[in-house]
Amino acid sequence: DGGITQSPKYLFRKEGQNVTLSCEQNLNHDAMYWYRQDPGQGLRLIYYSQIVNDFQKGDIAEGYSVSREKKESFPLTVTSAQKNPTAFYLCASRAGGLGETQYFGPGTRLLVL
């Protein structure tokens, strides 16, 4: 089945540790996105990528890093510089075209120990 997979479903981070959230899509979509959701807040964009080997910062990129070495993969690293990483993280992808919708993965919940 075509879709977006995110792993793991739950992730625990120790203080000072970097962790990487996986996002893979087999929809052959060009663009991929990472969002963060906190209780009572909407979706906030962390990073996005429209093409392999290129990505742009979103609204809250500080403390995060990404790579886009393959079209189907867009991993997000939460670095130790991110002081408040506890949140729900959603990955999404989109094909080209003005009327194309965005498809979301199931999400990863990150908790700090």
Partner 1 sequence: ILNVEQSPQSLHVQEGDSTNFTCSFPSSNFYALHWYRWETAKSPEALFVMTLNGDEKKKGRISATLNTKEGYSYLYIKGSQPEDSATYLCALGGSYRGSTLGRLYFGRGTQLTVWP
DSSP-assigned letter for residue 60: S
E-strand stretches of the chain: 4-7, 10-13, 19-25, 31-37, 43-51, 54-57, 64-66, 76-78, 87-94, 102-104, 108-112
Interacting residue with partner 1 among 43, 52, 61, 112 (CB under 8 A): 43
The reply to whether 28 sits near partner 1 by the rule CB under 8 A is: no
Contact between 52 and partner 1 by CB under 8 A: the answer reads no
Residue 84 contacts partner 1 per CB under 8 A? no
Residues that bind partner 1 (CB under 8 A): 30-31, 33, 35, 41-43, 45, 48, 50, 56, 58-59, 90, 94, 96-107
